[in-house]
Structure 1
Amino acid sequence: MSIEDDGDAPIGTAEEQAADWIVRQDGTALGEVEQAAFAAWIAVPEHRREYDRQNAVWQRYRRMASLPIREEEAGSPPRTSRWRPMRSAIGVRFAVPAVAAVLAVAIIGSAEDWPTRLRADYSTGIGERRSVRLADGSVAILGAGSALSFDGSGEARVVTLLGGEAQFEVARDPRRPFRVETAEGSVTALGTVFTVAEHGGSPEVAVLEHSVAVRTSGGAKAVVREGESTRFTAQAVERPVRSDVLAAAAWTRGKLIVSDRPLGEVVAIIGRQRRGYWTVRGDAAKLRVNGVYDLDHPLDALDALEKTLGLRSIRISNRFIVVTR
């Protein structure tokens, strides 16, 4: 299952492709294979024009970033860019570091994804959802940008959630427990259907049927029953609370339903549905969000958030987005 957004795999437009090449080249040398691919790509006149246009803008930002920061005088008109994808008149002292950070993290994030994929038995790409049947007959639905491995050879059936989120419908086998391992601890199925989301060092568990047992790597324990959810770290488990677990699992149907959730988390989830890097700058990340958003159309979801909360953003080809007040 993949989203139907025009910016996802493969990168289709010259604008998107140019942005991708600029990110790859910024601060790192291309390998021989990439150099050959770039030479073939830029030989197309349309590609050359778009690359030159975007690269000129980015180089101008780099030069501006090296200048001393000057505070804007009170009452002076805001500086604006004539480049179309720039969505708002945010001062240079905010825009340049933000754009630089976005591109730098995009490069690092792309490089760090491959080791995870190499360790995984099953994984999903940007904007992809996938249902897989494990060797024991259990079914796992992986959210976008997720990865897991499965070992059913021992006394227990062990899933290692390497990143992202998954919903598990566990095949019954009383003699062999079904356990989901994360970096912070484990979740053992005492029933059939539950979700685990591993984002930012604090996994979230929601139980749709029966119950699960959570045990952190530090030894803390809790039982989470049907209709309850919790979060845990390596040291502690939050007290399980009654919650809308169907909403917690709505991502399996392409929806994000949030209630009183930080904007930074919401944008991070939506951003996994599209190539590039999306982030929220400053205290805007702490704004609380409520609503239903369509994960299959992430740009529309982000536009709705900006409009509802009165926010602004810097956008480069809709792939590198910084949201701010």
Structure 2
Amino acid sequence: MSVEDEDARLETAEDQAADWIVRQDGEALDEADQAAFAAWLAVPEHRREFDRQNAVWQRYRRMASLPVRIEQSEHRRGRRRWRAAFTPIRRRVSIPAIAASLALIAVGYAEDWPTRLRADYSTGIGERRIVTLADGSVVRMDAGTALSFDRSDTQRTVRLLAGAAQFQVAPDRRHPFLVETREGSVTALGTVFSVREREDGPEVAVLQHSVAIRTSAGANAIVHEGESTSFTAQRVERPAHTDVQAATAWTRGKLIVFHRPLSEVVATIARERRGYWTVRGDAANLRVNGVYNLDRPLDALDALEKSLGLRSMRISDRLIVLSR
């Protein structure tokens, strides 16, 4: 099911009003969305519900100096609800902290456009795509991925600007195939491998043959078939035998993680659905193990919240802030 199909299933005026409020707060609506919003708002019931919820939302945003208490979320899958009641719980959360988190999220979304403008190929939210480059190489792109491709007289260069991609390289001995990242480059010595940008540096997994990694600081390593590693600008972690099918599970709509920070896992899942999903405070550093269905991102997020005993502040299912 596409993101658009899922959005179309909003059934109540309450759910729809919350959805419009979050969409307007996050980014400017295009002409088609403005027309759709105007038509929706023309229904008296919709206008009343929108005015009611918007008043609460605006009051919430103005209360920057007051401590509040956020309710612990209920795990109701597939249902969009406006959780605006501040029910007492043991942990006190301040509006400035939440406001700062939302501001950072908005900045992050805005900064994605310069990346897209530099890309020859990109994927949007919830979109996985297969492209064939000009040299015949085939690239599988994960959601939220951006890359550019250039072929010179001496080499073929892919610049991975964001996200993750799996490369099936077309043979051409006279023109080496490189994948460049901010931390260094990966040169194909065979045919199939993947590169994923992560918080602590790119992760490389080799499905066939081998690759050569060279970091920005000059460190080198060879990664063979069935091995994976990660690297920073200064060093390459020692390659280790791994389940490369698990490392590339995203190509099959799955996310398999072992001992990864919650903030990274949530950011990966968030690429599959429109909205603002983030983790606040020390919960961001919690380590996560598990298998999650990227085609059902809300279920995946609910599973994380429940298994880790987290709390969430939700405004519909578009804006979710997880915390301890």
- Tell me, yes or no, whether TM beats 0.5: yes
Give the gaps of 5 or more residues in structure 2.
9-14, 74-80
Q: Secondary structure at the residue paired with 1:196?
A: strand
2:283 is aligned with what amino acid? A
Displacement of 1:111 in angstroms is 1.8
1:193-236 residue CA offsets vs partner (Å, 9 max, x unmatched)? 11111133611111111111111111111111111111111121
1:208 is aligned with what amino acid? L
2:21 is aligned with what amino acid? A
Displacement of 1:3 in angstroms is 5.7
Aligned residue pair count: 311
Pairing of 1:297-316 with structure 2 (within 5 A): 297-316=296-315
Q: How far apart in 2 are the matches of 1:278 and 1:65?
A: 21
- 2:192 and 2:209 in contact (8 A); partners too: yes
Displacement of 1:291 in angstroms is 1.4
1:209 is aligned with what amino acid? Q
Q: Once the two structures are aligned, what percentage of the paired residues are identical?
A: 64
1:6 is aligned with what amino acid? E
Q: How far apart in 2 are the matches of 1:35 and 1:170?
A: 40
Displacement of 1:266 in angstroms is 1.2
Structure 1 stretch displaced more, 91-100 or 308-317: 91-100
Q: How far apart in 1 are the matches of 2:252 and 2:112?
A: 25
2:24 pairs with 21, 39, 50, which one? Answer: 21
2:178 is aligned with what amino acid? R
Which residue in 1 is equivalent to 2:270? Answer: 271
- 2:65 and 2:95 in contact (8 A); partners too: no
Structure 1 stretch displaced more, 162-171 or 111-120: 111-120
2:42 is aligned with what amino acid? V
Structure 1 stretch displaced more, 268-277 or 186-195: 268-277
Which residue in 2 is equivalent to 1:49? Answer: 48
Pairing of 1:133-212 with structure 2 (within 5 A): 133-200=132-199, 202-212=201-211
Q: Secondary structure at the residue paired with 1:161?
A: strand
Displacement of 1:240 in angstroms is 1.2
Q: Secondary structure at the residue paired with 1:293?
A: strand
Alignment root-mean-square deviation, CA? 3.2
Q: How far apart in 2 are the matches of 1:101 and 1:91?
A: 22
Give the gaps of 5 or more residues in structure 1.
25-29, 71-77
Displacement of 1:287 in angstroms is 2.1
Pairing of 1:18-167 with structure 2 (within 5 A): 18-24=21-27, 40=38, 43-45=41-43, 47-67=46-66, 69=67, 80=71, 84-85=82-83, 93-94=92-93, 96-167=95-166
Instruction: Tell me if 1:241 matches 2:244.
Output: no
- 2:124 and 2:143 in contact (8 A); partners too: yes
Q: TM-score w.r.t. structure 2 length?
A: 0.85
